[in-house]
């Protein structure tokens, strides 16, 4: 079920929160698990049992990792746990990729057939892995109550598209958390901001990208329009979803980590990755990069470490060569920056912003391409290679049609957008009526988003395929 | 303290809005049909474990809730307002509103469809008309975007190219260019179609070119109810209804009209006035979509017949050609297989007019 869907907003959301708020404290985690299973089963009925199996596996491994005292045995259990998780992820997510390449390489028919990807598997597998690793490292205690582990993994706000929450970060909240009108209000605010980002901006930008894919005109302007629209589309789509997830969790008394922090204002790719999909970046840092030795190793080993981490980051995003190239593309920039470019970027503000935006935009052409060939075609199109014309009637029309959406997106991709809205509300309504003005804003977003949903069915979430 | 009260109020207020709409969604009576979209709305899906397993049940329930959401039309209107007012979008799902006219932006030119459509008509010629001694004519009707698109910077297909290419593919038919006789005022503001009362000069020109005397005096009758065409519903914001007129006289009143290939073989005369009360009043012209329709005119004694291959635009024009013919047969190959036409029609040297709108030609996959 999508957060930005009528069944969620007007069926699941009210029923869940009525049940949740009315249930006594000791039952709240049970309510979460029950509703999360419904939430997941709505979209992926056949894979509910898989998720339950992963939860049980994580619970059992956690208990064993704590009970066993001998370090060697403990390490063996952890290795076994990680292998079993990666086997599940590998089977469901990467079998198609390997079999396709294998059958292409040896010109034979794929003997297995297509395996459907369970929604959110990359997220919940990473979460359960982090839980077991943290128990192994003694940074958190193993949970004796399987219901708590189930609530942690299945917590529906973050179940299918993150942020990747670590058990140790919400351990206490899972056991005991407070609820207040202020938390609910703040959560609602965050949720509606995310809803607006997703439906009012991301979906419209996605429509622009779809129009480009069905274009009748190959003009350089059209390639630029698509590249810029996709740059903002993916940001508002994913950060909108994360905002909704964090907001919902806050309404339930949880405080989850922020997943995005205005990545497009970065002045280096290194900074960009500190602001983009923060929960994934920190996961790879803590569970792959640092265990490999981080930067406290020889120069060549350090380059190798970066290469491994970004290969895995790319491959995590999707089982295709595009994503691997995408990851390695960032590895290259991170290496170059660390070798000296970063110092130059720090001195030149304007250039550094242009540099980040351009190369991130290009990275998303690789990300969105159905094949490497298509990604290359879209990149070359920016420079007019293979284009019939630089500017055409169709591209001009769609530029005019989506210009305001893009401009609004540019403003709200920076802290300026939030500041403008805040100042505007304060100026019009004064500090005295600020909360009521915010409420009116939330209501307007809800109604406008509902109107867009009712009017059309264009509402796919990009990050579901991960 | 005051702030706390406001926060509590806000939480309850937003909650109440969501909860009220939820209650409406669950318990308000459900419509079966959407007039504005001309389609049946989704029914509540049946529960099945297979559907649940595959996630189809969730999808169907989502479609159901979208179709039956309370104040659906009002929400669609709100979307249109936000889209136009805030995001300054130039069109709404391809529809735009200029000079009081709702216009569909037909774009891009679909070469494959043109080829498909022309192949179908060529096939008809080869199979039935080539050796029948018929004189063939082709006339193509531009849609409203032809008149307003370029003026307002909307996307338009190259109509000249379209009409030229299509007519060149049908060299057996003499092309009768009516574009110069038409203007935007000849079309309904809220509908795809043209206005019958504005077509006398088009009918006169076609008649003259085909060698038939079609001119006759008419009474101009105004329909009682204002007409809201197919675009009015799609636009989702309130638009004024417009007057619908039809032209009639004694000749038309005395015609025998019947459909062929249907069980009852009936039609309600040239004008089916009951349709004026229905969801699509334009269907009052020749009873709307019919596969094969025959008009017999007893006022013309000598045998002079016309065969029209057509779409819905012909429904309002063909009555104006009736005074020049003893019999007119209208064929819509969207509703009848073109390879079995000789089962219903005797191809015996009639005049043949291929009359199609640009909208249909650009989407001619529906030709059978």
Neighboring chain B residues of A461 at a CB cutoff of 8 Å: none
The tokens for B16 are 């109440």
Task: Nearest chain B residue to A49 by CA: give it.
Answer: B53
Q: Pick A1's closest partner by Cβ from B58, B88, B91.
A: B58
Q: Pick B66's closest partner by Cβ from A14, A442, A454.
A: A454
CB contact under 8 A, B78 and A9: no
Q: Which residues of A are catalytic?
A: 317
Handedness of CA A99, A101, A106, A110 (dihedral sign): positive
- The HSE-up count of residue B24 (CA atoms within 13 Å, CB side) is 15
Neighboring chain B residues of A251 at a CB cutoff of 8 Å: none
How is chain B split into domains, by residue range?
2-75, 101-366
Whole-angstrom distance, CA of residue B173 vs CA of residue B167: 8
* Helix or strand holding residue B352 (H, E): strand B351-357
The per-residue pLDDT for A416 is: 94
Answer with the residue of higher pLDDT: A258 or B34.
A258
CB contact under 8 A, A188 and B11: yes
Neighboring chain A residues of B362 at a CB cutoff of 8 Å: none
A195, pLDDT greater than 50: yes
Whole-angstrom distance, CA of residue B312 vs CA of residue B275: 15
Mutate to test the interface with B, among A444, A450, A457, A464 (most CBs of B within 10 A): A450
- The HSE-up count of residue A434 (CA atoms within 13 Å, CB side) is 12
Neighboring chain B residues of A46 at a CB cutoff of 8 Å: 53-55
Parallel, antiparallel, or unpaired for β B292-296 and B327-331?
Answer: antiparallel
Please give the average per-residue pLDDT across A135-155, as a whole number.
93
CB contact under 8 A, A45 and B57: yes
CB contact under 8 A, B14 and A447: no
- The CA distance from B238 to the nearest CA of chain A, in Å, is 16
- The CA distance from A190 to the nearest CA of chain B, in Å, is 13
CB contact under 8 A, B4 and A181: yes
Q: Pick B90's closest partner by Cβ from A400, A438, A452.
A: A400
Burial class of residue B273 in the structure, from the number of CB atoms within 10 Å of its CB (0-12 exposed, 13-18 middle, 19+ buried): middle
Please give the average per-residue pLDDT across B32-52, as a whole number.
78
Neighboring chain A residues of B77 at a CB cutoff of 8 Å: 451
Task: Nearest chain A residue to B37 by CA: give it.
Answer: A455
Neighboring chain A residues of B88 at a CB cutoff of 8 Å: 403-404
CB contact under 8 A, A408 and B87: yes
The per-residue pLDDT for A463 is: 47
Residues 6+ apart with CB under 8 A from B337: B368
DSSP string, A281-350: HHHHIIIIITTTTTTSS-HHHHHHHHHHHHHHHHHHH-SSHHHHHHHHHHHHHHHHIIIIIHHHHHH-HH
The per-residue pLDDT for B44 is: 84
The per-residue pLDDT for B364 is: 74
CB contact under 8 A, B21 and A404: no
CB contact under 8 A, B25 and A1: no
Q: What is the ipTM of this complex?
A: 0.85
Residue A398, phi-psi category: left (phi > 0), alpha (psi -120 to 50), beta (remainder): alpha
- The CA distance from B48 to the nearest CA of chain A, in Å, is 12
Highest mean pLDDT among A157-161, A444-448, B25-29, B255-259: A444-448
A366, pLDDT greater than 70: yes
**What phi, psi does B176 have (nearest 5°)?**
-110, 105
Whole-angstrom distance, CA of residue B229 vs CA of residue B244: 10
The per-residue pLDDT for A460 is: 38
Burial A40-60 (b: 16+ CB within 10 A, else e): bbbbbbebbebbbebbebbbb
Please give the average per-residue pLDDT across A365-379, as a whole number.
90
Q: Pick A14's closest partner by Cβ from B19, B65, B79.
A: B19
Residue from A362, A169, A175, A121 nearest A282 by CA:
A169
Task: Nearest chain B residue to A392 by CA: give it.
Answer: B155
CB contact under 8 A, B7 and A182: yes
Highest mean pLDDT among A37-51, A96-110, A310-324, B339-353: A310-324
Burial A227-246 (b: 16+ CB within 10 A, else e): bbbbbbbbbbbbbbbbbbbb
Residue from A361, A280, A289 nearest A326 by CA:
A361
The per-residue pLDDT for B267 is: 61
Please give the average per-residue pLDDT across A114-120, as a whole number.
85
Whole-angstrom distance, CA of residue A325 vs CA of residue A332: 10
Task: Nearest chain A residue to B84 by CA: give it.
Answer: A401
The owner of tokens 């006022």 is: B299
CB contact under 8 A, B15 and A14: yes
Neighboring chain B residues of A453 at a CB cutoff of 8 Å: 66
The per-residue pLDDT for B1 is: 56
CB contact under 8 A, A436 and B10: yes
Whole-angstrom distance, CA of residue A444 vs CA of residue A449: 8
Q: Work out the number of other CB atoms within 10 angstroms of the CB of residue B282.
A: 22
The per-residue pLDDT for A465 is: 42
A112, pLDDT greater than 80: no
The owner of tokens 């339930």 is: A252
Q: Pick B10's closest partner by Cβ from A397, A439, A457.
A: A439
Mutate to test the interface with A, among B2, B13, B22 (most CBs of A within 10 A): B22
Q: How many CB pairs under 8 A join A and B?
A: 136
Q: Pick B14's closest partner by Cβ from A403, A439, A451.
A: A439
For chain A, give the percent of residues with pLDDT over 70. Answer: 98
Question: Can you say how many angstroms the Cα of residue B33 is from the centroid of all Cα atoms in its chain?
Answer: 19
CB contact under 8 A, B55 and A457: no
Question: What is the SS3 assignment for B187?
Answer: strand
Handedness of CA A458, A459, A462, A466 (dihedral sign): negative
The per-residue pLDDT for B266 is: 60
Q: DSSP secondary-structure letter at A160?
A: T
The per-residue pLDDT for A461 is: 45
Neighboring chain A residues of B75 at a CB cutoff of 8 Å: 447, 450-451, 454-455
What band does A258 get if pLDDT is binned at 50, 70 and 90? very high
Question: What is the SS3 assignment for B262?
Answer: coil
The per-residue pLDDT for A362 is: 96
Query: With DSSP H G I counted as helix, E B as strand and the rest as coil, what are the percentages for chain B, rounded to 5?
Result: 40, 15, 40
Please give the average per-residue pLDDT across A282-289, as a whole number.
94
Neighboring chain A residues of B105 at a CB cutoff of 8 Å: none
């Amino acid at each position: 079920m999508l957060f930005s869907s009528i069944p969620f907003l007007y069926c699941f959301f009210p029923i869940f929160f009525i049940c949740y708020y009315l249930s006594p404290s000791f039952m709240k985690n049970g309510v979460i698990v029950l509703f999360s299973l419904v939430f997941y089963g709505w979209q992926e009925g056949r894979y509910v049992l898989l998720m339950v199996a992963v939860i049980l596996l994580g619970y059992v491994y956690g208990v064993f990792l704590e009970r066993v005292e001998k370090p060697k045995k403990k390490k063996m259990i952890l290795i076994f746990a990680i292998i079993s998780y990666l086997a599940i992820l590998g089977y469901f997510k990467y079998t198609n990729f390997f079999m396709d390449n294998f059958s292409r390489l040896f010109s034979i028919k794929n003997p297995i057939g297509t395996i459907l990807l369970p929604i959110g598997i990359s997220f919940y597998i990473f979460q359960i892995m982090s839980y077991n690793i943290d128990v192994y490292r003694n940074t958190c205690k193993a949970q004796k109550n399987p219901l708590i582990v189930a609530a942690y993994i299945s917590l529906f706000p973050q179940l299918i598209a993150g942020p990747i929450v670590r058990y140790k970060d919400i351990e206490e909240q899972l056991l005991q958390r407070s609820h207040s009108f202020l938390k609910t209000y703040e959560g609602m605010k965050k949720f509606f901001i995310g809803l607006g980002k997703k439906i009012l901006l991301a979906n419209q930008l996605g429509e622009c990208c779809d129009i480009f894919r069905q274009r009748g005109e190959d003009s350089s302007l059209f390639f630029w329009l698509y590249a810029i629209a996709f740059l903002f589309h993916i940001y508002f789509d994913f950060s909108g979803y994360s905002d909704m997830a964090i907001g919902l969790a806050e309404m339930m008394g949880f405080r989850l980590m922020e997943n995005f922090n205005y990545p497009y204002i970065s002045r280096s790719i290194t900074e960009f990755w500190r602001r983009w999909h923060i929960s994934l970046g920190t996961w790879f840092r803590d569970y792959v990069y640092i265990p490999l030795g981080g930067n406290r190793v020889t120069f060549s080993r350090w380059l190798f470490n970066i290469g491994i981490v970004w290969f895995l980051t790319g491959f995590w995003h999707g089982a295709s060569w595009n994503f691997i190239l995408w990851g390695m593309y960032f590895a290259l920039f991170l290496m170059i920056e660390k070798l000296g470019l970063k110092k130059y970027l720090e001195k030149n503000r304007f250039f550094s912003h242009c540099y980040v935006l351009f190369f991130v935009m290009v990275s998303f052409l690789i990300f969105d391409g159905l094949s490497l060939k298509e990604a290359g075609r879209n990149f070359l199109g920016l420079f007019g290679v293979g284009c019939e014309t630089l500017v055409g009637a169709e591209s001009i029309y769609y530029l005019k049609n989506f210009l305001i959406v893009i401009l609004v997106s540019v403003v709200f991709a920076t802290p300026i957008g939030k500041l403008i809205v805040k100042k505007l509300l304060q100026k019009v309504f004064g500090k005295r009526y600020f909360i009521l003005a915010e409420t009116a804003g939330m209501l307007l977003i809800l109604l406008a988003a509902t109107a867009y949903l009712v009017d059309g069915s264009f509402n796919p979430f990009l990050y579901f395929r991960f | 303290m005051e702030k706390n009260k406001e926060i509590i109020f806000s939480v309850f207020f937003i909650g109440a809005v969501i909860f009220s709409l939820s209650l409406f969604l669950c318990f308000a009576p459900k419509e079966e049909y959407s007039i504005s979209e001309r389609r049946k709305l989704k029914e509540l899906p049946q529960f099945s474990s297979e559907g649940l397993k595959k996630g189809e049940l969730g999808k169907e329930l989502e479609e159901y809730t979208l179709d039956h959401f309370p104040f659906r039309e009002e929400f669609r209107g709100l979307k249109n307002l936000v889209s136009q007012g805030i995001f300054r979008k130039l069109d709404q799902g391809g529809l735009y509103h200029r000079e009081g006219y709702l216009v569909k932006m037909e774009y891009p030119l679909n070469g494959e469809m043109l080829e498909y459509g022309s192949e179908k008509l060529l096939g008809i010629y080869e199979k039935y008309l080539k050796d029948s001694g018929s004189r063939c004519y082709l006339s193509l009707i531009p849609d409203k975007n032809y008149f307003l698109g370029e003026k307002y910077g909307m996307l338009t297909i190259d109509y000249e190219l379209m009409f030229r290419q299509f007519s060149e593919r049908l060299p057996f038919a003499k092309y009768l260019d009516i574009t110069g006789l038409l203007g935007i005022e000849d079309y309904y503001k809220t509908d795809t179609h043209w206005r019958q009362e504005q077509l006398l000069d088009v009918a006169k020109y076609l008649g003259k070119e085909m060698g038939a005397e079609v001119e006759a005096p008419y009474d101009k009758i105004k329909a009682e109810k204002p007409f809201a065409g197919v675009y009015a519903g799609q636009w989702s914001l309130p638009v004024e209804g417009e007057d619908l007129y039809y032209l009639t006289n004694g000749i038309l009143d005395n015609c025998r009209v019947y459909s062929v290939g249907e069980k009852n073989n009936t039609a309600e005369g040239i004008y089916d006035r009951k349709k004026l009360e229905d969801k699509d009043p334009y269907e009052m012209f020749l009873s709307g979509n019919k596969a094969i329709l025959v008009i017999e005119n007893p006022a013309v004694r000598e045998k002079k017949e016309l065969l029209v291959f057509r779409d819905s635009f012909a429904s309002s024009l063909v009555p104006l050609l009736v005074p020049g013919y003893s019999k007119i047969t209208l064929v819509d190959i969207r509703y009848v297989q073109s390879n079995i036409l000789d089962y219903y029609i005797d191809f015996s040297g009639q005049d043949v007019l291929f009359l199609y709108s640009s909208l249909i030609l650009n989407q001619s996959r529906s030709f059978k």
